[in-house]
């Protein structure tokens, strides 16, 4: 019988399993805290649990750890990039970023990605599988263990499309913010999506306090469909309606991600159209100088990004240029995993 992945269980689920095994309900909370607060990786370290119960746990559950395969530290800005090996031999990437207000971590939600955005290294390497809640959570626990510090923010912007792994991502978010466990407010969490419209509505209806980031990258349907295939299913008009619904339902501001690519989406006309599209919306634009991936010839002139930001600003749209972090360690998502060269590295 396969053992249950205990780090993916909510406190309530753990309580139910223990009660049906004839144990006391309060034991679940003790175990939950060992896992999510003290973060032990071995049932024998749960010293206030009886030997008998520990034995039961060992026979029925596993604590699913990640193995650090690679760790790259930027010489420029303290960014650390991790390549973690999962229990089945697949790889995921995690990036720890150092901002002046604290550390922020970028986690992956899938091994690879199905969405096929043509500027993204994760998409180019293909899709293998979705991550379990514990595998998303453990990227944070392992990285915090390595860094010897807690992170103050989490972004779901690593490899994968979070809304294509909806249930596990939601479970991860509830574990991350559980008051009896890790207890990080979802106000410090951003979830980035390429725009799976029905899932944006579903997420909005849950009224979580997280920030929704939407990867837009062009205000024109033909161009967006060319670089982001998801636009052929959910076009810009449908996406904007879903974003407005999200804002109205949650009261939260939406962020639009826009990777500026010379000759693709960086003209004055693009900026003007983008400004018109977003006018009156409670939103913010995050401009990213495109990270080069070796399969594409895309590039950005820094000055081009600044001009684009200025033009948006003049048209009343709040835009910032994201700092490029870890440029010396390939911190752009998907690049390390793709180059790992073993299982999950070259699947297509």
The residues of the shown chain that bind ligand SAH, judged by CB under 6 A, are 115, 117, 119-120, 157, 161, 192-194, 215, 257, 259, 288, 290-291, 293, 332-333
Look at phi and psi of residue 330 and say left if phi exceeds 0, alpha if psi is from -120 to 50, else beta.
left
Q: How much is the CA Rg of the chain, to the nearest whole Å?
A: 21
CA distance 162 to 211: 13
CA distance 332 to 310: 25
> Which residues are 112's β-sheet partners?
127
CB of 42 to ligand SAH, least distance (A): 33
Q: How many other C-beta atoms are found inside a 10 Å radius of the C-beta of residue 205?
A: 12
Active-site hit among 117, 194, 243, 333? 333
Taking the least distance from each CB to ligand SAH, the nearer of 35 and 288 is 288
CA distance 45 to 29: 15
CA distance 14 to 181: 13
CA distance 239 to 216: 9
CB of 263 to ligand SAH, least distance (A): 15
- Residue 93 three-state SS: strand
CB of 169 to ligand SAH, least distance (A): 11
CA distance 337 to 82: 10
DSSP 8-state symbol, 24: -
CB of 1 to ligand SAH, least distance (A): 35
Taking the least distance from each CB to ligand SAH, the nearer of 108 and 177 is 108
Taking the least distance from each CB to ligand SAH, the nearer of 111 and 290 is 290
DSSP 8-state symbol, 62: E
State yes or no: is 333 an active-site residue: yes
Cβ–Cβ < 8 Å for 239, 214:
yes
CA distance 157 to 12: 29
Taking the least distance from each CB to ligand SAH, the nearer of 63 and 290 is 290
Taking the least distance from each CB to ligand SAH, the nearer of 57 and 290 is 290
CB of 321 to ligand SAH, least distance (A): 12
Strands 110-112 and 127-130: antiparallel
CB of 198 to ligand SAH, least distance (A): 16
| Start-to-end Cα distance in the chain | 32
Active-site hit among 23, 93, 132, 161? 93
List, by residue number, the catalytic residues.
93, 333
């Amino acid at each position: 019988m396969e053992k249950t992945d205990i780090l993916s269980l909510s406190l309530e689920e753990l309580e139910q399993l223990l009660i049906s095994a004839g144990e006391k309900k309060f034991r679940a909370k003790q175990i939950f805290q060992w896992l999510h607060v003290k973060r032990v990786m071995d049932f024998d370290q749960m010293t206030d649990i009886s030997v008998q119960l520990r034995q039961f746990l060992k026979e029925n559950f596993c604590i699913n750890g990640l193995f650090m395969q690679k760790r790259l530290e930027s010489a420029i800005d303290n960014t650390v990039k991790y390549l973690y090996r999962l229990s089945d031999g697949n790889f995921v990437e995690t990036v720890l970023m150092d901002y002046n207000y604290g550390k922020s971590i970028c986690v992956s939600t899938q091994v690879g990605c199905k969405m096929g955005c043509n500027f993204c290294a994760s998409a180019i390497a293909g899709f293998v599988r979705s991550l379990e809640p514990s595998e998303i959570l453990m990227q944070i626990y392992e990285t915090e263990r390595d860094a010897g510090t807690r992170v103050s923010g989490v972004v779901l912007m690593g490899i994968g499309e979070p809304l294509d792994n909806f249930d596990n991502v939601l479970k991860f978010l509830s574990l991350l913010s559980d008051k009896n466990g890790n207890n990080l407010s979802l106000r410090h969490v951003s979830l980035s999506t390429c725009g799976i419209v029905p899932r944006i509505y579903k997420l909005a209806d849950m009224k979580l306090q997280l920030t929704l980031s939407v990867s837009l990258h062009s205000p024109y349907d033909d161009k967006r469909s060319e670089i982001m295939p998801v636009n052929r299913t959910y076009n810009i008009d449908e996406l904007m309606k879903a974003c407005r619904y999200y804002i109205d339902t949650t009261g939260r501001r939406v962020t639009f991600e826009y990777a500026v690519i010379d000759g693709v989406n960086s003209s004055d006309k693009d900026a003007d159209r983008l400004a018109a599209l977003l006018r009156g919306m409670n939103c913010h634009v995050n401009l990213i100088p495109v990270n080069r991936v070796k399969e594409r010839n895309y590039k950005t002139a820094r000055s081009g990004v600044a001009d684009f930001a200025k033009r948006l600003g003049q048209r009343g749209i709040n835009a910032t240029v994201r700092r490029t972090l870890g440029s010396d360690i390939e911190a752009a998502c998907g690049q390390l995993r793709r180059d790992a060269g073993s299982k999950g590295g070259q699947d297509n």
